[in-house]
A and B are shown apart, each in its own frame.
Chain A
Amino acid sequence: MSWLSRLRDTFRTGRLDDELDEELRSHLEMRVADNIASGMTPADARHDAHKRFGNSTLLKEDARETDIIGWLDTVAGDLRYATRVLRKNPGFTLTAILTLALGIGANTAFFSVVNGVLLNPLPYPQPELLVTLHESKPNFLSGSISYSNFFDWQKDNHSFSSMAIARDYGFSLTGLGDAEQLDAKFISSDYFLVLGANPVIGRTFAPGEDKIGTAPIALIGAGFWKRKFGSSPEVLGKSLTLDGKSYTIVGVIPEAFDLYRSAHPTDVYVPIGQWNNPLVPNREAGLGIHGIARLKAGVAIEQARADMERVTANLAAIYPDADKGIGAHLVPFTESLLGNVRPILLVLFGAVGFVLLIACFNVASLMLARSTSRTREFAVRVALGAGRSRLIRQILTESILLSIIGGALGLLLAQGIRRAALRVLPTEMPRAADIHTDSHLLLFTVVISLLAGILFGLAPALKSSDLFLSETLKESGRGSSGTRHRAQSVFVVLEMAMALVLLIGAGLMGRTLLRLWDVQPGFDPHNVLTFSISLPPSMNAASPAAIRAAFRHVHENFGSMRGIQALSVSWGAVPMGSDDEQVFWLDNQPKPSSVNDMNWALSYVVDPDYLKTMRIAIVRGRFFTDADSENGQHVVVIDEVLANKFFGNEDPIGRHITLQQGEMKAEIVGIVPHVKQWGLDSDETQQLRAELYVPFMQLPDAAMKLSPTGTTLMVRSDGSDAKLFDSLRRTNKLMSDEQVIYGAQTMEEIISVSLAARRFAMILLGVFAALALILSSVGIYGVISYLVGQRTHEIGVRIALGARRWDVLNLILSQGAKLTLLGIVIGVAASLGLTKLMARMLYGVSASDPLTFIGVAILLSFVALAACYIPTRRAMRVDPMVALRCE
């Protein structure tokens, strides 16, 4: 059919309709005239003419179906009719809409997360060219890049159009309202050039401004700009006092350019040359600096890797002491940003898709069951001349109407679900800030609603229209209920199978978390609070002795608070929080020529009360005492892993090691148990596990001078003060207005953050599985109810013939049990394949853990049989007389 003429027709529909009317009228009149001429009475003549025409509306409809407006007209008619039908069955309609809203809502909500995190393009131009850079060292693949090496990398490489480094830092801000801690970054000049960001106002750093000894300048983030300066453009040229030093603001950076798009945007950026750490220029220093670079167009990452291999090999030749064994480790930026979350999100997205499928099957099942009671209605429509496609269209119109209403409701529901989901979202989740409603989301909702409508509408539509072609018009068709029942059973079996898969997934995650909670971290996290402290900015220029005195003062003040049982400074690694390393050599070893030939250990720099604070029991020897001060003999304590690794069967106590930092020779005085620094799950698989404790007061002066900012305090309380940190803050303010404590986290929180991604997956899988369980129970309930309804007569006969209630129970329940069992078999088979996808998220349980599989199968059978029992009871109560009479 020519679309062109259809289109033409569209523009003249009104006329077309009129013309058709007039043509038919003239035909009628001619027929009437001829009839009269052949001798009929005028009334008969007219009657005959009309009879020959039959259904003139239908005729017009048929002639009209060839144009689009006519088509739309029929759709509108179908919609009106569908609305009427749905309104007449509020129970069915409500159930169907709610079921769909749940399914679509859950999908939409989850899609908003997937869309924000995985699908939306990163806010940088050509993000596929971005590469994260690390120094690979004998111990680490992703080590810190030293300041000096970076400038050589930048100068010598041929692969990158720009390259930059950054290091997170916390500044105390003073002189602008209450003293507060800012999230800051030390960056090299090209940082924003790499990202392709332009400042909102002002400029970024110019080449050379990142070198040591240049004038202190700063960039601020748009959020900070708004909060502190009301987004005033006057801010340029103003000064900020950070750690007591004055910086001139030269520009404002848009919020969207935070590298990891996490929930904590950066407040202020400062050139890395401004860092007062004396180790910065040291080529072998590992200071937590990492890089990002932009590939030149057309350069593949493998070429860049080869190029950097050349650059680092040259440096190793020039500076063998520092750079022997040092390479560059390159990772595509999107990989380093999303590599960890992608599999979790995809598994969850698949799971939520199952929920929608189950919802669709349920509604399809409902519609099938209902089409029985509509048999007469359909028969009348067929008798009036409706064709098969016309009927299919009518039923599809109804189902799509349902799914669109369900979708709209689902979209509303999704807003709520998403808000709840964001609350359980790991705070470490990259791009959390990018999750919001956008046009993609709306499109997604519309598409899945339509698809769902077609999916659950098609089977009932085909089935019911089939009915009439097989000429079962006269009676309300018992003959066809067999096929319909089969379709419903297939739906229920599939629902059961999918629910089982989801339950198994949730079960495996649950068991993983239980296993992890059982893992002993090596300390008692209960009632331990950690927070950071920055001494007043004036202390940055103070002598090491004054700093030590200040910390003793802090210790006394906090330590004398009510409810505090023990506290310790922690300079260096915090278990499961941050890590720090020491390099050392043993007393029977000559000093190695290169850092990379020395021995590495995790470094804990603490007070004597650390063991009491963390409730770690000493294994042998002793821990530090107050006598192990700056004036005492240098001592260290090691953990069992270090003892085994470096001393084997020998007794380490009394032996000496030399710490590279300050070339400090110290005696080993005690051994403590190993602490799971790297988290409950992955500590055992890490390379660097040896642990070394150093007394804080014995820190070399150079290091001590850095400690006024960003030192951690760990406090054990008796748990009586629910607002412990507020009390600590009050005590802190009494010591100095310019001293800041910030970043409070309980040790339990730190552990739970390390499990956050898994907990997120478990909560969502659990919710999806629960939804699936409920929906599929409703499904099997519906089918068994239908079955009982169909067999009431038969049951009546059976009871009349002497069947006992038990036999009836058996008869009906065995039907339900058959469906459930089949569902479980299919579900188990599917799970064996699908749970492999989540193997990476599991710990301590196998992806085919028999206990989970069996437990979940039992749970599902129990719930399904309980759902079957309700209609079965109805069957058992059938009064044979009533049942027989109603036939």
Chain B
Amino acid sequence: MFRPKTDVLQGTLALLVLKTLVRGPMHGYGITLHIQMLSNEVLRVEEGSLYPALHRMAQDGWIKAEWGASENNRRARFYRLTTAGRKQLAEEEKSWARLTQAVASVLQHA
């Protein structure tokens, strides 16, 4: 139940969301499905983390939200990547690569 705020996942969540949105605008529920699917059900995005993260990213100007209609014609809020968001994505991809490389090399040689 105790939910630490500074989770490693929290950091990667932004990366995953930004990457997902490269394909085009998507609503929150769609984002969770997408990430779950592409990660072969390994990564599950908690709703409790997703919305605060979306809100924060919108405030930072990485994404923009607007109301639209979902596939089933339900009203939903769609998130779209902004230019700043694309730049941020590039940054985060780079640092992710650095991180995984670093972890990998430790695992190899230790």
Q: Hey, which bits of chain A sit against chain B, CB under 8 A? A: 1-2, 5-6, 9, 19-20, 22-24, 26-27, 29-31, 33, 52-55, 58-59, 62-63, 65-66, 382-385, 387
Contact = CB atoms under 8 A, between A and B. Distances in A.
A66 B59 contact: yes
A55 B46 CA distance: 11
Interface in B29-63: 29, 46-48, 51-52, 55-56, 59-61
Contact of A66 (B1, B3, B56, B74): B56
B55 A63 contact: yes
Nearest to B55: A63
B77 A26 contact: yes
A59 B45 CA distance: 14
B56 A30 contact: no
A52 B47 contact: yes
Contact of A26 (B2, B47, B56, B76): B76
| 3 nearest A-B residue pairs (beta carbon) | A62-B52, A30-B29, A63-B52
Interface of B: 1-3, 5, 27-29, 46-48, 51-52, 55-56, 59-61, 70, 72, 74-77
A496 to B, nearest CB: 40
Nearest to B31: A27
B108 to A, nearest CB: 34
Contact of A59 (B29, B51, B70): B51
B27 A26 contact: yes
Contacts of B74: 26, 29-30
B20 to A, nearest CB: 15
A27 B26 CA distance: 12
B28 A27 contact: yes
B72 A33 contact: yes
Contacts of B60: 1-2
29 contacts: A1-B56, A2-B59, A2-B60, A6-B59, A20-B51, A22-B75, A23-B51, A23-B76, A23-B77, A26-B29, A26-B70, A26-B75, A27-B76, A29-B74, A30-B70, A31-B29, A33-B72, A53-B48, A55-B48, A59-B48, A59-B51, A62-B51, A62-B52, A65-B52, A66-B55, A382-B2, A383-B2, A385-B1, A385-B3
Contacts of B47: 27, 52-54, 59
A210 B71 CA distance: 100
Contact of B48 (A26, A58, A382): A58
A54 B1 CA distance: 10
Contacts of A24: 51
Residue with the highest number of chain B CB atoms closer than 10 Å, among A27, A31, A52, A65: A27
A31 B76 CA distance: 13
Contacts of A383: 1-2
B46 A54 contact: yes
Contacts of A387: 5
Nearest to A54: B48
A9 B65 CA distance: 14
A382 B2 CA distance: 7
A6 B76 CA distance: 23
Contacts of B52: 59, 62-63, 65-66
A389 to B, nearest CB: 8
A22 B46 CA distance: 18
A27 to B, nearest CB: 5
Contacts of B51: 20, 23-24, 59, 62-63
Contacts of A58: 48
Nearest to A387: B5
Contacts of A29: 74
Nearest to A55: B48
Contacts of B76: 23, 26-27, 30
A30 B78 CA distance: 14
Nearest to B33: A34
Nearest to A23: B77
A552 to B, nearest CB: 97
A386 to B, nearest CB: 9
B76 to A, nearest CB: 5
Contact of A27 (B5, B29, B72): B29
A24 B28 CA distance: 9
B75 A5 contact: no
Nearest to B51: A63
A342 to B, nearest CB: 52
A9 B58 CA distance: 12
A67 to B, nearest CB: 9
Contacts of A53: 47-48
B104 to A, nearest CB: 32
A682 to B, nearest CB: 68
